Structure 1
Amino acid sequence: MKYQNITYSHEHPRIDLSIGKNDPDCLLNGYLDCIDELRDIHAKGVTRWVDCSNHGIGVDWENNKRIFEDVGIEIINSTGFYKTPFMPDYVSTASVEELVQIMLDDLAKGAKVIGEIGTSKNEWTKDEHKVFEAAVIAQKQTNAVIITHTTLGTLIKEQVDFFLEKGVNPKKVIISHVALSNDLDALRYALQKGFNIAFDTIGKTKYLPDETRIEFIKTLVKEGYTTQLLMSMDITRQSHLKKNGGVGYAYLLDTFIPMLERAGVSQETISTITSENFTEILEA
């Protein structure tokens, strides 16, 4: 089966983490660095990406427009601030209200997502808390989607509890990077509370084997959570590109989805996850 109208729910058409990580490998521009890979996945059914870059990590809406015009992949723009230490310096001194206004201005200009907003590994810093507080206010005023970052899959439960305490509609929240740690119970916790989760680090097997991700997805589908699942690659480095020896963007389509099929996940279920769920979240 050729899947159609696929959404990659967590990508970075342009991202620059090179200064914070002191590593030039972490500067990536999809238009300049891998346009052929993008044309390849578009030909294989990818019609939409969600850009999870934002202020401080190299977001470039004009770059997104060029990709759409030259490749045909629609890119959903985002607003917000990533995590410590990758936020602009002004986040530390700005008020929550000032951060809210930045988000609202971007949403008024066409952004549809607040994200990715993150927590650190097993730690939620003061500035990260401030960004989450601002995101809640902006989300309630606009009904935008929130996409979070969990560093190596930590603090999933804490993020869920925060949003519930603040009264955010869980249908509008996507918890990302959930399969970087081997903690299926944390995934279930988020799903049981009504949140969406993203298997968006497919191919990053140094953290967790893809066979484990397959088993997680298979289990959660059987438990009735199909409509709350998303998939993507989250390619952020030059070394992730196929031409540089990485798995490349098409790995999800050429390798991972066939693995799901062989594991017994139906094509209808895969189509729901890849082609329908993000639209449902947008419209919720």
Structure 2
Amino acid sequence: MTDLHAPHDPHVRHDRHDLLRTVSGPLPVCAVRGPVLAHEHLALDLTRGTDPAAVLAERHRPAVTAELAVLREEFGLALVIELTCRGMGRDVRALARIAEASGVAVVAGTGWYHEAFHPPGVATADTGRLAAALTDEIEHGCGTTGIRPGVVGEAGSHGDAPSEPETRTLAAAARAAAATGLSLATHAQLGRGGLAQLELLTAAGLPPHRISIGHQDLLDDPAVHRKVAAAGAYVAFDTVGKERYQSDAVRLRLLLALLEAGHADRVLLSCDVSRHGYLTGEGGGGYGHLFRFFLPRLRAAGADEELIDGLTRRNPLRFLTGRAPR
């Protein structure tokens, strides 16, 4: 459970690792006592005129809010890391309304998705200018809302190596994250290119323990997962339930392999709800598929509650706060 209005005395000095920056304001880490969804979308628009279902619009807000509220009551859902960034139809005011109505804290993101969704202006801007734009948003808020992002992401690329524009946007995202103390989550399309992303981001000055490489459950390559984790970055198994792309049976096998290799503290879990058809009211698994279906299978495979708490709460909190590994 989460107390969205946990006491915060502005006169008391806090280490940056003690507070999360949510759409409702600063939230002490100690107030997050339930699980965290590490990569979700609550309001977005990826339609581009060709995919009308790739949207979570105003008409879907009641269903989104209701799902989160139920998960808060049923499983103690405490926090959602919402990774809709620039060019993806981000709406931070909607996120604030959803957080208030559901009682689930929400962290908003910033950055740029992969090249197909880059907004005008990115093509002609150098890395320094792009980094400055993100830093300004992180420090002063998104537009006129005053709502400040609490994570950079999902910063994207779409192949085995980032394209030239993606190289600039990823490097800018890393510079902004390094300058502001935020962590960074990536979009690696179909799980590809994660090692190239990690190399680029660390070369731009961001420590690996503040990086999460996205959609690795779509890549059936345990060796890559081990390399990412061994480097100190997080391996995101964040499309749980998306059977069209990968079966949960394969996800479970890949996750167990990573756990058996000793990397339980480097894993993040989520469902990446990114279109209205994934909502439970429309027949999808919704935001709760992880809790209702995948975690029971993980428990049946031998995971105890200490491990589950690490995967679903301690790991995403450590990632968000940027704490270095022990």
- Indicate whether the TM-score tops 0.5: yes
Q: Distance in 1 between matches of 2:52 and 2:63?
A: 13
Q: Distance in 1 between matches of 2:91 and 2:222?
A: 35
Report the Cα offset of residue 87 of structure 1: 1.3
Q: Distance in 1 between matches of 2:70 and 2:54?
A: 23
Deviations along 1:2-38, one digit per CA (max 9) or x if unpaired, are xx51110101111100016x11100113524432212
Per the alignment, residue 217 of structure 1 pairs with 255
Q: Which amino acid aligns with 1:233?
A: C
Alignment pair present for 1:138 and 2:176:
yes
Alignment pair present for 1:39 and 2:69:
yes
Q: 1:56 to 1:163 in 2, by over 3 A?
A: closer
Alignment pair present for 1:124 and 2:162:
yes
4+ runs deviating over 4 angstroms: none
Q: 1:14 to 1:246 in 2, by over 3 A?
A: same
SS at match of 1:75: strand
Q: State the TM-score, normalizing by the size of structure 2.
A: 0.82
Q: Distance in 1 between matches of 2:205 and 2:175?
A: 10
Task: Indicate if the aligned counterparts of 2:238 and 2:269 stay in contact, CA closer than 8 A.
Answer: yes
Q: Distance in 2 between matches of 1:33 and 1:98?
A: 38
SS at match of 2:117: coil
Q: State the TM-score, normalizing by the size of structure 1.
A: 0.94
Alignment pair present for 1:69 and 2:97:
no
User: Aligned match of 1:15 in 44, 57, 62?
Assistant: 44
Alignment pair present for 1:279 and 2:317:
yes
Q: Which amino acid aligns with 1:9?
A: A
Report the Cα offset of residue 140 of structure 1: 1.9
Q: Distance in 1 between matches of 2:56 and 2:224?
A: 31
Pairing 1:1-284 to 2, within 5 Å after superposition: 5-19=34-48, 22-29=50-57, 31-43=61-73, 44-108=75-139, 109=141, 110-283=148-321, 284=323
Q: Distance in 1 between matches of 2:284 and 2:188?
A: 23
SS at match of 1:234: coil
Query: How much identity, in percent, do the aligned residues show?
Result: 29
Q: Distance in 1 between matches of 2:86 and 2:114?
A: 11
Task: Indicate if the aligned counterparts of 1:31 and 1:66 stay in contact, CA closer than 8 A.
Answer: no
Report the Cα offset of residue 117 of structure 1: 0.7
Structure 2 residues without counterparts, runs of 5 or longer: 1-32, 142-147
Q: Distance in 2 between matches of 1:245 and 1:231?
A: 22
Q: 1:173 to 1:128 in 2, by over 3 A?
A: same
Instruction: Report the more deviating stretch, 118-127 or 49-58.
Output: 118-127
Q: Which amino acid aligns with 2:83?
A: C
Q: Distance in 1 between matches of 2:190 and 2:238?
A: 12
Across the aligned residues of Structure 1 and Structure 2, the Cα RMSD in angstroms comes to: 1.6
SS at match of 1:85: helix
Task: Indicate if the aligned counterparts of 1:151 and 1:177 stay in contact, CA closer than 8 A.
Answer: yes
Between structures 1 and 2, the one with greater helix share: 1
Q: Which amino acid aligns with 2:187?
A: H
Report the Cα offset of residue 123 of structure 1: 4.5
In the comparison of the two structures, how many residue pairs are matched?
281
Q: Which amino acid aligns with 2:34?
A: N
Report the Cα offset of residue 238 of structure 1: 1.3
